[in-house]
Structure 1
């Protein structure tokens, strides 16, 4: 059975990358479509998080195949995925802020009723955006357009294994560049740390997509990427929550409660920044 499986994997890895696109994209489109539909009935933090992750994976897959398709159309479709992920993410941002401040037993607890109301208001807007965007047709149109373009390509196709190695290599170089930049940056330069998180997430998705057709094992790399994603994700949660609270301070509560919450988030951000920085060495 193993020999038969190896033969199948060999056949797939040597097939043109253009032919493989739909086998990667179609299940992701189906999952994102189902999750978007489900958000209408399930407004839980986990449902919104799954939708945002699914859309980010789609965006990463389209980035992976960008060299094989029209640049302008690929950029437009990736922008659509980013827009939809942002719509789902706005409510998720309130969930993260509420969860973080729920760990604080100071005056920040007085903010909870207004934070919960802000979350409900944002959810209504997110739902309306996703419904009006007609996610199902947007995603299926993108799949059909890109699949048709790749199918119509007249040039001999590059083997999937070689193509996957090239794209993962490009993503790895991007991550190393951003790690180097962040290691030299001041700790107040959060953008440099955020770039590491995004680059690490993209590379992890590519390994998850293409790992089975690549030669050699990648468990060590994936383990490090997961650690980067976790620590830098926790840092991003603190930074984004602090910014969200500042941006909405006027409508939430009195100045004393806001300042207490911001002070607590500031300490949390600094601790998480130190933890994230340890992975840059």
Structure 2
């Protein structure tokens, strides 16, 4: 039990450090991404062990972790979108005379979203989440008919088999299904990676296969989110030239799916 708790405490500590780094420099897109990824890693492991926490306790801490990660979702989307637009602008420099205005607008949107992450409600939610998760880890007590080693190994194998089958039969025109499979592949990859010390195995094949699925679906899901955000931002534009530029960028992203 102590070995499992140590793994969970380590992931929680990573979130604390990532948050501190973000506090120190919220202008760095890499730090926003790192904070969200570290949160997702802990959520993945906790989700994998949800039966060990009990339904009520699991739902509570998962809800808080999910809400915390969502706080930075829009900020991350704007960072990704800015990078995508920058790539297009470098590739097609003569496409528009309004690139400067577009990037200025994206920067202003990002600054507004960045400031929102530091409001009193979000800061209190972060501290409350840390307290809740730490308390849940402290009180973790697993009662099962099999060993923790067999439990994790069998669960990894079952989830891997189901996920590969769903991936092979996936309808790529169904965004929600594609997003769901990619998300679950991430969860399984992180669970295999961080829980493997408890199994005595490296689970390299599982980790490698889940990463392959995640990457294969990544461009599609990212392009979908980018296109939707471009449409949303373009709809706000009063400047017709900027509206046209956002619409063009959106078409490019839709075509890349």
Task: Tell me the equivalent position of 1:38.
Answer: 21
Could you tell me whether the CA contact under 8 Å between 1:52 and 1:85 is conserved in 2?
Answer: yes
- Gaps of at least 5 residues in structure 1 are 1-17, 274-281
Could you tell me whether the CA contact under 8 Å between 1:36 and 1:130 is conserved in 2?
Answer: no
- Within a 5 Å distance, the mapping from 1:139-154 to structure 2 comes to 139-150=130-141
Relative distance call for 1:147 and 1:181 in structure 2 (3 A) is farther
Shift of 1:90: 1.5
Say which SS state the counterpart of residue 188 (structure 1) adopts: coil
Relative distance call for 1:171 and 1:156 in structure 2 (3 A) is closer
Relative distance call for 1:62 and 1:220 in structure 2 (3 A) is closer
Higher mean C-alpha displacement, 139-148 vs 90-99: 139-148
- Equivalent-residue separation in structure 1 for 2:122 and 2:232 (angstroms): 24
Could you tell me whether the CA contact under 8 Å between 2:182 and 2:214 is conserved in 1?
Answer: yes
Task: Tell me the equivalent position of 1:6.
Answer: none
- Equivalent-residue separation in structure 2 for 1:215 and 1:22 (angstroms): 17
Q: Deviations over 1:141-171 (max 9, x none)?
A: 3222243141xx6x46642211211321243
Task: Tell me the equivalent position of 1:70.
Answer: 54
Higher mean C-alpha displacement, 43-52 vs 163-172: 163-172
Relative distance call for 1:159 and 1:240 in structure 2 (3 A) is same
Q: Give TM-score scaled by structure 2 length.
A: 0.85
Indicate whether 1:267 and 2:252 are aligned.
yes
Task: Tell me the equivalent position of 2:209.
Answer: 224
Indicate whether 1:166 and 2:154 are aligned.
yes
Shift of 1:21: 2.7
Q: Give TM-score scaled by structure 1 length.
A: 0.78
| Aligned-CA RMSD value | 2.4
Indicate whether 1:246 and 2:231 are aligned.
yes
Task: Tell me the equivalent position of 1:11.
Answer: none
Could you tell me whether the CA contact under 8 Å between 2:82 and 2:103 is conserved in 1?
Answer: yes
Task: Tell me the equivalent position of 1:89.
Answer: 73
Shift of 1:253: 5.1
Indicate whether 1:56 and 2:63 are aligned.
no
Q: Deviations over 1:224-256 (max 9, x none)?
A: 322332342232222111111222323345344
Higher mean C-alpha displacement, 64-73 vs 227-236: 227-236
Could you tell me whether the CA contact under 8 Å between 2:226 and 2:253 is conserved in 1?
Answer: no
Q: Deviations over 1:63-84 (max 9, x none)?
A: 1111122202201211111111
